[in-house]
Amino acid sequence: MRKSVPLLRKIASENRVVAISVDGEGKNPVIAEKNRLFDENGNVFECEGISGIEHLKNGDLIVSHKDGITCLQKFKPGWNFQCETGAENLFSDGLNIVFSDALGKCYVIDHQGNLLFMPDNQSTLFISLGPQLAIADESGEVSLWSWSGEKTWQRPARGDIGERITAIGWNNDAIIIAREGHGLVPGEEEAIEVECWRDGKLVERSEPKGRVVAIDGVWLGLDMGGVQYYDKLAAELQHPVKKIIDGGDRALLASWFHIYMINGDEIVWSVEHQGMVEMIAVNDDWSVVMVAGEDQNDWTESEPVIILDANAEAESVALVKNEVDDWAEAPPIEIDAASLYDEKDDAFEALMAEEKVTSKSNAKEMSVLLDALEDQLSALEEDTKPINEDENLDLALHDINLLEDLDSEVEEYIAPVANSGNDITTQSDENGVAMVILDGSETYDPQSRVSSWQWINALGKEVAQSSKVKIKLNKGVHRFELRVKDSEGSWTSDALTVTIE
């Protein structure tokens, strides 16, 4: 029999929940909707386009939104870090703050809002925080960065056919990487594999029980349903594991409408949520577990965030009174067969007799209506004259011309493609400087929709707002990014490297 733990409480939301967070002591659960965040003490902060929230160890709350990052100190705005392309994916280890923007660029800032560095990865796909910062991008590259901004390692490409990284995560000082080959794979290479790297060396390569979509510690969440503990399948589930929180020999995971507690051998307990579980947040000792999700139904109200204690003793569902609370299934209605199928039902016979009388009356009325309809059709035929072939042709040509006119007015939207030009290498003068021109005029824009230009340096600072700019640079290697925004609000970017010798 399935076991569960009781809910501690539920927190109602007005709109869809986009993020949840709780501090280490579990005293301050915070919930974010798209345009506001709030806690159980009545504190509210309004902000447009919220995408994430994280607690810092000093008690501050970090909010990512469409304009960048805001630090809240006791729910009052502190410092801000502006990012014109918005902050979309937010992570924090309690000290450092990492986020990626709408273009897939990654930023690392400290707890006071100072930019530490920007990794050179393009189109960030996954971010994982551990002893170092791990980043995987859409090209299949995985790299590690020290918190001082040094790139310490980059995973070598596997084969020539191509591959895709499906998940990354830390197990103490080892980075775990799940990958899959694109199409056919050569030789003895497996299509789906998990790699363990430590100190830049491949420690182990194994074939998992299925495609891996979530990693934390030694726990692997599988796309085909199930969770793997080391190389053993710890539990089989019917739906993909979307989120895992490692607890050593136990783990919390989200799959479909349930949150599960599992150990290396079995499911310890599970709790059903009203919505598909998308977010889990826990405090240090797991005494406060926040669970949020949506039922994906636009016609129903937003689902509440539930709070439970992962350390509570599991009991059978029948004994846990509020395990599913007010979203439990309706009780069955018992009725015996005789009541349901009794052929001597007097009420039924009376109803049938009444139906026969009604049918006769309706038949008579229908006959009258049909006679009247015949008269109207005859009158219409007298007033209708045939259309000759020439008139038919004229009407057809008119319809064709009308369609052509309409089609000519519909213009297909073609997004611009930024082009920062080729990398530049030039000699410095006797003072060790050189003048170079950054030229983005080759940007592909057939519909002239570009509304703004930005040249950004390696520190994330804007150096110009035009398609072409002349700048003076010292000896060294400099990296610049061209960001182009069109009238539809879409961004595109391209980068180049300038070397001054």
Phi, psi (deg, nearest 5) at residue 68: 135, -130
pLDDT value of residue 108:
98
pLDDT value of residue 224:
84
Residue 4 makes CB contacts below 8 A (sequence gap 6+) with 269, 270, 271, 314, 315, 316, 317, 320, 323
Phi, psi (deg, nearest 5) at residue 41: -95, 5
Q: In this structure, how many other beta carbons lie within 10 angstroms of the beta carbon of residue 382?
A: 7
48 within 8 A of 307, measured Cβ to Cβ: no
Residue 104 makes CB contacts below 8 A (sequence gap 6+) with 121, 122, 123, 124, 125, 137, 138
* Pairing between β-strand 30-33 and β-strand 250-255 as defined by DSSP bridges: unpaired
The encoded tokens of residue 81 equal 């870090």
pLDDT value of residue 329:
41
Q: In this structure, how many other beta carbons lie within 10 angstroms of the beta carbon of residue 80?
A: 14
Task: For 283-430, list the strands marked E by DSSP.
Answer: 289-294, 305-308, 315-316, 424-426
Strand order in the sheet with 476-486: 424-426, 491-500, 476-486, 450-457, 462-464
- For the chain, residues with pLDDT lower than 50 are 184-185, 324-345, 347-348, 351, 356-360, 384, 387, 406, 408-410
pLDDT value of residue 430:
84
pLDDT value of residue 204:
94
Please tell us whether the domain made up of 3-322 is placed in CATH 2.130.10.10. yes
Q: Which residues pair with 386 in a beta bridge?
A: none
* DSSP string covering 44-109: EEE-TT--EEEE-TTS-EEEEETTEEEEEETTEEEEEEE-TT-EEEEEESSS-EEEEETTS-EEEE
The encoded tokens of residue 417 equal 């493609």
The second-level CATH assignment, the architecture, of 424-500 is Sandwich (2.60)
The Cα–Cα gap between 222 and 243 comes to 10
Q: How far apart, in Å, are the Cα atoms of 156 and each of 142, 153, 162, 214?
A: 8, 9, 12, 22
* Domain positions in the chain: 3-322, 424-500
Q: How big is the chain by its Cα radius of gyration, in Å? A: 32
Share of the chain above pLDDT 70, in %: 77
Q: Is this model's pTM higher than 0.85 or not?
A: no
pLDDT value of residue 156:
84
24 within 8 A of 14, measured Cβ to Cβ: no
